Structure 1
Amino acid sequence: MKLLILGGTEFVGRAIAEDALARGWEVTVFHRGKKPSPPGTTTLHGDRTAPDGLAALADGSWDLVVDTWSAAPAVVRESARLLASRTAHYTYISSRSVYTYPTPAQLDETGAVVDSAPGLTGEVPYAEAKRGGELAVVESFGDRALLARAGLIIGPYENIGRLPWWLNRIARGGPVLAPGPRDLPLQYIDARDLAAWTLDAAEAGLSGAYNVISAPGHTTMGGLLDACVAATGSSAELRWTDPEPILEAGIEPWTQLPIWIPQGELHEMIHQGNVSKVLAAGLRCRPVEETVADTWTWLRSRGGEAPQRPDRPTVGLDPEVEAKVLEG
């Protein structure tokens, strides 16, 4: 198979490139050239936001295209239009954020989505950007378009910082503020499992929207943090704390305590999505212990410092704030 990845140097894009290479596919990555391409790929350079930024894609044909773009959907529209006659199938890595909020538990792919348009330019909110990107791909590819609506993504190469923060924090040892309840169910996808399913589905010609994420409760907050302790070999002491004193201290779920969201509307949106369609289509998710251990191995290879996307806020909790809550 001949695969073109629009992106391909970081996190999900890199996981897709590596999976495709392992299959023996011919992989071309198109990006701005600010990060190195995965070894074994063919590189084309261009800035999708610049005039004539797609010039390097003027020639050539591919079996599959995967696009990870997260900003103004007009950029996706231009790429899809350019490639529609020279590519058999187009996969857009979208997000479950496209559903209107509040998103009830067990919402499937037929749920209401935010208003957007494929031609939006400039600064576009994330949900509208992803929905507009979906519309842009469908506009040019129709039933040759696959919309992979991912949820929380973790694993090696993460450039958001959520799991890396927990690993580094637990590796430091000492008492750790562990946000409860311990059995709080989590729903997420390892980037490598997202990559494997995406390529299988694209090769099979699947189309339409899929919620690509594990089953709710694939692990729990306790399972995740226990895996961090085991992977790091730390002597850290997890101090499980009810949500109330954490919230009363002004600590922000999701950002200051990454991944964690107390039960309620937002938890239902992030960690309780319906995945019956994607499971029937072959999604397989590895154990949390493997995801955590592999992420720690990768993180140590970088000296403990994870890459940080410039368009996303830095996550994590100030040690002094943590200590104050633990002192109670």
Structure 2
Amino acid sequence: MRLLMLGGTEFVGRAVVEAALDRGWDVTVFHRGRHPAPEGVTALLGDRTTAPEGLAALATGSWDAVVDTWSLAPSVVRDAARLLAGRVERYAYVSSRSVYTWPMAAGLTEDGPLVEGSPDAGGEVPYGEAKRGGELAVADAFGAERSLFVRAGLILGPYENVGRLPWWLGRIARGGPVLAPGPGTLPIQYIDVRDLAEWTLDAVAAGLSGPYNLVSPSGHATMGELLDACVRATGRTGGTDAEADAVELRWTDPEALVAAGVEPWTELPVWLPPGETYDAMHTADVSRALATGLRCRPVVETVADTWAWLESLGGVAPDRPNRPGRPPVGLSPEREAEVLTALAGAAGHAETAGHAGHA
């Protein structure tokens, strides 16, 4: 297979490139040159945002498939898709479940209602509308039978430049009492970036088309299993209470966290309390992807490999591995200590009141 990867030097694109190289595919990477291209590829340089001159390197050549992860103005996807339509067999666009209208019902399938989007939209476009516009741009150029839409949910794993799982690993590696959002048995949905890459390559090789929700099945992992895996990966198991840096996961009810003003998803990454937003993010129907071969590795493997990658970079740092332009995620040490103190005080007050009432 001859694969053209638009991007390919970071997170999802890099995982796709590495998976394709492992299969022995002939891979071409088109990128802006801000990061080194993976070894073993043919590298083409250009800036898609300055079409048509920025796409000059793609003026010739043919490929069996192209994979695109673009998340901003849909007009950028439109220009690339139109240029490649006659020389590429299939276009796989890594979209998002954010293309569904809000609120997303629990168990939503690919037939759910979609946000408005335009393939011609430029400038700053809301994320969901940008991804939907990208889908429409690909469909306009390649037609329904040659277009594949990978509607991913939460993506974790090595190379993550959003910082969600890296923040948890860095926080637990620091030790001490950790504000753990409960309940620990709460199921979470995510996709390991490498599982996304493998499924996408399988799909283009098999000639699949149309939209697919791509996250793990509901119940594949829980919040407790994710944080326990972080404890094991960072070597924090086996500590004693006497050790100043021993990890103590302080599981806290969602109601108490919300009352304390903690922001789900941003201050405590991945976690959402039960309710409308949780249903939207962690209960997607993925039966269509499972029926076409989606396989999801255990959460302990995702966490351990992400930690190994972070260690290869020298560990977690405030400016790493976050993508430029994205706000940082996770509680600051000061904010976490403040919340833990407030929760402990509230619990102590409630216990005192309970004893007084009993007396």
Q: TM-score, normalised by structure 1?
A: 0.99
For 2:212 and 2:50, locate their aligned partners in 1 and report how far apart those are by CA, in whole Å.
31
2:217 equivalent in structure 1: 215
2:260 equivalent in structure 1: 249
User: Displacement of 1:145 after TM fit?
Assistant: 0.4
For 1:155 and 1:116, locate their aligned partners in 2 and report how far apart those are by CA, in whole Å.
29
User: Displacement of 1:313 after TM fit?
Assistant: 1.6
What is the SS of the residue equivalent to 1:88? strand
Match of 2:288 among 269, 274, 277: 277
Match runs of 1:1-40 below 5 Å: 1-40=1-40
Match of 2:199 among 197, 200, 204: 197
Match runs of 1:1-328 below 5 Å: 1-51=1-51, 52-142=53-143, 143-234=145-236, 235-305=246-316, 306-327=320-341, 328=344
Equivalent AA in structure 1 for residue 300 of structure 2: E
User: Displacement of 1:246 after TM fit?
Assistant: 1.5
What is the SS of the residue equivalent to 1:63? strand
Equivalent AA in structure 1 for residue 159 of structure 2: Y
Equivalent AA in structure 2 for residue 89 of structure 1: R
What is the SS of the residue equivalent to 1:53? helix
What is the SS of the residue equivalent to 1:257? coil
For 1:248 and 1:106, locate their aligned partners in 2 and report how far apart those are by CA, in whole Å.
28
Q: Alignment identity in percent?
A: 68
What is the SS of the residue equivalent to 1:253? coil
For 1:218 and 1:97, locate their aligned partners in 2 and report how far apart those are by CA, in whole Å.
21
Of 301-310 and 222-231, deviating more is 301-310
For 1:311 and 1:23, locate their aligned partners in 2 and report how far apart those are by CA, in whole Å.
34
**In 2 relative to 1, CA 110–311 (structure 1 residues): closer, same or farther, beyond 3 Å?**
farther
- 1:266-297 deviations in Å (ceiling 9; x for gaps): 10111000001000010000000000000000
Unmatched runs of 5 consecutive residues or more in structure 1: none
What is the SS of the residue equivalent to 2:115? coil
User: Displacement of 1:149 after TM fit?
Assistant: 0.2
- 1:20-51 deviations in Å (ceiling 9; x for gaps): 00000010100100011011111000000014
User: Displacement of 1:312 after TM fit?
Assistant: 2.2
What is the SS of the residue equivalent to 1:5? strand
Of 303-312 and 94-103, deviating more is 303-312
User: Displacement of 1:326 after TM fit?
Assistant: 1.8
For 2:87 and 2:213, locate their aligned partners in 1 and report how far apart those are by CA, in whole Å.
27
User: Displacement of 1:320 after TM fit?
Assistant: 1.7
What is the SS of the residue equivalent to 2:48? coil
Contact 1:245 1:325 in 2 (8 A): no
Equivalent AA in structure 1 for residue 125 of structure 2: V
For 1:206 and 1:175, locate their aligned partners in 2 and report how far apart those are by CA, in whole Å.
48
Contact 1:92 1:148 in 2 (8 A): yes
Equivalent AA in structure 2 for residue 325 of structure 1: V
User: Displacement of 1:310 after TM fit?
Assistant: 2.1
What is the SS of the residue equivalent to 1:119? coil
Contact 1:76 1:133 in 2 (8 A): yes
Equivalent AA in structure 2 for residue 314 of structure 1: P
2:354 equivalent in structure 1: none
Contact 1:99 1:112 in 2 (8 A): yes
Equivalent AA in structure 2 for residue 93 of structure 1: V
User: Displacement of 1:250 after TM fit?
Assistant: 1.6
For 1:7 and 1:252, locate their aligned partners in 2 and report how far apart those are by CA, in whole Å.
32
Higher Cα radius of gyration: 2
Unmatched runs of 5 consecutive residues or more in structure 2: 237-245, 345-359
- 1:202-248 deviations in Å (ceiling 9; x for gaps): 11110000001110121000000000000001131100001122122
User: Displacement of 1:175 after TM fit?
Assistant: 0.6
For 1:88 and 1:95, locate their aligned partners in 2 and report how far apart those are by CA, in whole Å.
23
- 1:184-213 deviations in Å (ceiling 9; x for gaps): 110000000000000000111100000011
What is the SS of the residue equivalent to 2:335? helix
For 2:111 and 2:208, locate their aligned partners in 1 and report how far apart those are by CA, in whole Å.
17
Equivalent AA in structure 1 for residue 294 of structure 2: L
For 2:269 and 2:55, locate their aligned partners in 1 and report how far apart those are by CA, in whole Å.
36
For 1:209 and 1:21, locate their aligned partners in 2 and report how far apart those are by CA, in whole Å.
25
Equivalent AA in structure 2 for residue 74 of structure 1: S
Q: TM-score, normalised by structure 2?
A: 0.90
What is the SS of the residue equivalent to 1:121? coil
Equivalent AA in structure 2 for residue 21 of structure 1: L
- 1:60-118 deviations in Å (ceiling 9; x for gaps): 00001000000000000000000000000000000001000000000100000100111
